[in-house]
Amino acid sequence: MHPWVSSLMGGVLIGISAVLLMASMGRIAGISGIASSLLTGARDRSWRVVFLVGLVAGPWLLFLLQGESAIGVPVVSWPWMAAAGLLVGFGTRLGSGCTSGHGVCGVARLSRRSLLATALFVAAGMATVFVIRHLLGGLGA
């Protein structure tokens, strides 16, 4: 399967899940908000757990169906991935939401705050890739 086909299918599934969550529960599919509410003791935990289990189970199901090449191999070392994860978590708190909440749900609702946040996410990602690939020479595994 070509990467653009699986990317398109993934995007469609993300959009459908966001619409279904909003239509059925009136909730925004922002992963950071769903996860952090579990950690802070939300009363409505069951749907959050199911949503996050599905988020993790999807790639594993793809792995079982298509093999190792479907998911890919990390191109950086574990310490770099851990550092990146911490920075993403910090940015999520700083931006009051993540790419799923702002980029998928907020942009679809034409939220000015989400449009700005998404533009900043994309710009920061582009700047990071430029610095790592062209100024630092890449970060090997």
Residue 110: per-residue pLDDT: 92
Task: Provide the percentage of residues in the chain whose pLDDT is more than 90.
Answer: 13
Task: Kindly report, residue by residue over 1-30, the tens digit of the pLDDT.
Answer: 677 887 888 889 888 988 999 999 988 888
Q: Does residue 63 surpass a pLDDT of 80?
A: no
d(CA 32, CA 5): 27
CA nearest 105: which of 44, 6, 27? 27
Contact yes or no for 51/34 (Cβ under 8 A): yes
Over range 113-128, report the average pLDDT. 90
Q: Is the Cβ–Cβ distance between 99 and 121 less than 8 Å?
A: yes
What average pLDDT does range 56-69 have in this prediction? 77
pLDDT mean across residues, the chain: 84
pLDDT at position 141, please?
A: 47
pTM: 0.70
Rg, C-alpha atoms of the chain: 17
pLDDT digit string, tens, across residues 72-108? 666 777 888 888 888 888 888 888 888 888 888 888 8
